[in-house]
Amino acid sequence: MTILESLRNRLGLLASGAVSFVVIVGGIRLADGEPPIQPLTDIGIVIGVVMVALPFVINDTRGGAR
- Convert the pLDDT of each residue in 28-53 to its tens digit: 999 999 998 898 888 988 898 899 88
pTM surpassing 0.75?
A: no
Q: HSE (CB half, 13 Å, CA atoms) of 45?
A: 19
Task: Examine the pLDDT at 66 and tell me if it is beyond 60.
Answer: no
Average pLDDT, the chain: 87
Q: Tell me, what's the pLDDT at 31? A: 96
Measured between alpha carbons, how far is 61 from 56 in angstroms, rounded to an integer? 9
Measured between alpha carbons, how far is 16 from 27 in angstroms, rounded to an integer? 16
Task: Examine the pLDDT at 1 and tell me if it is beyond 90.
Answer: no
Q: 56: exposed, middle or buried (C-beta count within 10 Å: 0-12, 13-18, 19+)?
A: middle
